[in-house]
Amino acid sequence: MKLSGELTNFAGRLGHEFTRPALLIEAVTHPSMSSPSRADNQRLEFLGDRVLGLVMAEALLEHDPTAAEGQLAPRFNALVRKEACADVARQIDLGKVLKLGRSEMLSGGRRKEALLGDAMEAVIAAVYLDAGFDAARAMIMRLWGARIGDVADDARDPKTALQEWAQARGMTPPKYLQTDRSGPDHAPQFTITAQLPNGAAEAATAGSKRQAEQAAAQMLLTRLESGQTKTPPED
């Protein structure tokens, strides 16, 4: 099996020449394109997540030999979470080579955060199975390397950070309320409001509930840390 010209160029962006091209083809095949004769990338995604985790844990220990577990854990989470994987995927234009079913293509699948993140993990697994751990680690370090030194000590996801902010002040955790949904069924937009017991709130809109919740939490946390608050209007 040979790679198409587009996938050959993509492999070049990865910095890896595949001896088993079928692995890369499987890694970029979304479940919407799977069939009895064509495997999708879900099993590879499962493996790639673990390979990425090991490489990042090792890299963080080497980068800061004196860091405590409490410092390392949020850095690790920031580097391996789906948003980080999707960001790297966009960096190497992974969306361009994804094999998607018609419904996913029509709904903007090549730009979806979760879909890109999953595919990036699958590509990592493909390199690992093709050439071993050292090759996978070398590729990951090329793509993630600069992020390791830049990741902040408090690199928590916004929802976790907002919950910790509230708990530190004796509040119950924030609530996330869906206040609007717009757009067609294949490309919905969700508006979520993050609200604390004291009435402070912010709303954000995104293509998934999870993304909208994270964005609303970040907006509210930023406002709270700047000393400003905004309460929702009364009915």
CA torsion angle 41 42 47 53 (round to 10): 100
Rounded CA separation 206/147 (Å):
25
Produce one character per residue of 40-56: b if its CB has 16 or more CB atoms within 10 Å, e if not.
Answer: bbeebbebbbebbeebb
| Residue 83 among known ligand-binding residues | no
Contact 186, 107 (CB under 8 A): yes
Rounded CA separation 217/214 (Å):
5
Catalytic residue numbers read 49, 121
| Residue 121 among known ligand-binding residues | yes
Strand order in the sheet with 189-195: 175-182, 189-195, 201-206
Tokens describing residue 222: 């930023």
Please name the residue ranges forming H helices in the chain.
5-14, 21-27, 42-63, 69-80, 82-91, 102-106, 113-131, 133-150, 158-168, 209-225
| Residue 202 among known ligand-binding residues | no
| CA dihedral for 211, 216, 219, 225, sign (positive or negative) | negative
Question: Phi first, then psi: what are they for 170, rounded to 5°?
Answer: 75, 15
- Fill in the amino acid letter for 19: T
Point out the annotated binding site for Mg(2+): 45, 118, 121
